[in-house]
Amino acid sequence: MLLEHDLSVSPAARAAQIWRHREQIEREAAAQFHQLARELASAGNSELAKRATRAALDEQRHARRCRALVESLVGPDVAPADAPRRLTLGPATLSSRDRMLYAAVALGCVTESLSCALLLELKEAAVHPLVQATVAEIVTDEIEHARIGWAVLAAEAALRDVAWLTQYLPVIAAAAIADDVQPMAGEVELAGLGVLPRERVQALVAETWATVISPGLARVGIRSGGG
Ligand SMILES: [Fe+2]
Ligand SMILES: [Fe+2]
């Protein structure tokens, strides 16, 4: 389906396909952080709302960096990025406050924490100078974005029971892996171009789940299994 799987295509073109997809992921993250900022503002948490707005702007910048990288790999790219797929996180049956918490956990605590782990590894492997610069810039911001999720969770957990999120963790984890992790994985030969070797993905996800995400969630009574 993806060009990335077609080995007759050059490594640069295959890597470009993955960075195009990343551009789309960044645009989705921008929309989701804007939404989270609005929800935080309505919940009266203006400090975290400001941080979420800054994160949304970071994500828009990341999308532009991804586009620049695609063009440096394959030349002028006229294909527009796909439209964002998921803008609202969480089941519609939840109250708006619960959806805010769901989104903060899904986006910040899970997706951004996994993204940080993958990007730190990619940063080490990158050899293409613009890939190095792009990954380094993105990972610095993603660390703050993960912290926003953990800060929202801590603030909510100080006010109320948040253990109900346990039931949603399998869905949140599966979505993060399918939508944000797997699309950044590819053949080993693409590692220097910012594509994570598939064999490393599973190990990194399991490690990050066990050492960062699961313990962080357990501190506020959310059980998330072994990952
Ligand atoms: Fe990003
Ligand atoms: Fe981010």
84 — pLDDT class (breaks 50, 70, 90)? low
CA of residue 103 to ligand 2 center, whole Å: 13
Position with higher pLDDT, 86 vs 153: 153
Q: Which ligand is nearest to the CA of 107?
A: 2
CB 15 within 8 A of CB 193: yes
Q: What is the band of 227 on the pLDDT scale with cuts at 50, 70, 90?
A: very low
- In this structure, how many other beta carbons lie within 10 angstroms of the beta carbon of residue 57? 13
Ligand 2 center from residue 142 Cα (angstroms): 4
> What pLDDT sits at residue 7?
61
Domain ranges within the chain, ordered by starting residue: 11-88+95-218
pLDDT in tens, 107-163: 999 999 999 999 999 999 999 999 999 999 999 999 999 999 999 999 999 999 999
Ligand nearest to the CA of 65: 1
Q: How far away, in angstroms, is 20 Cα from ligand 2 center?
A: 16
Instruction: Please tell me the distance between residue 58's alpha carbon and the centre of ligand 1 in angstroms.
Output: 7
Cα 8 to ligand 1 centre (Å): 30
163-180: pLDDT as tens digits: 999 999 999 999 999 988
Distance from Cα 92 to the centre of ligand 1, integer Å: 25
| 188-217 per-position pLDDT tens digit | 889 899 898 888 999 999 999 999 999 999
CATH class of the 11-88+95-218 domain in this structure = mainly alpha
Q: Which ligand is nearest to the CA of 137?
A: 1
Using a CB cutoff of 5 Å, list residues around ligand 2, an ion. 142, 145
Query: Residue 133 in contact with residue 116, Cβ under 8 Å?
Result: no
User: C-alpha 38: how far from its chain's center?
Assistant: 19
Between the CA of 29 and the centroid of ligand 1 the distance, in Å, is: 7
Cβ–Cβ under 8 Å, residues 187 and 9? no
